[in-house]
């Protein structure tokens, strides 16, 4: 797989990220490293976001808030589109937080 394909795969769940990282770690270019960082940040954000959203829905009983769970899906789609176009554009809202994190990626 080329780096562009691995960049796309990295956004498809944490398993996709692990596959992209394992296959591409030796031949990673700047594009792949950037999207690996963004995708890992999105995965961490997703876990925390879904946990907090679950607590809020449980406390308030307002099930319409479950629609807010689509935020992560929208961010994932935006990341995939950016990776497919070969651009290093941070994800909206959360992307800038992860640009200089995760030094083990490169």
pLDDT of residue 28: 84
Mean pLDDT in runs of 10 for the chain (106 residues)? 92 93 89 94 92 88 80 94 95 87 82
pLDDT of residue 81: 97
pLDDT of residue 103: 83
pLDDT of residue 39: 95
pLDDT of residue 47: 93
Note the pTM of the prediction, 2 decimals: 0.88
CA distance 59 to 78: 31
CA distance 83 to 38: 10
């Amino acid at each position: 797989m080329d780096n562009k394909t691995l960049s796309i795969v990295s956004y498809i769940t944490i398993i996709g990220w692990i596959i992209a990282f394992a296959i591409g770690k030796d031949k990673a270019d700047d594009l792949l490293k950037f999207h690996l960082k963004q995708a890992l940040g999105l995965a961490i954000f997703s876990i925390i976001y879904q946990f907090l959203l679950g607590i809020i829905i449980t406390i308030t009983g307002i099930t319409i808030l479950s629609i807010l769970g689509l935020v992560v899906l929208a961010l994932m789609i935006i990341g995939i589109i950016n990776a497919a176009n070969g651009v290093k554009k941070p994800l909206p809202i959360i992307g800038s937080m992860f640009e200089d994190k995760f030094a083990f990626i490169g």
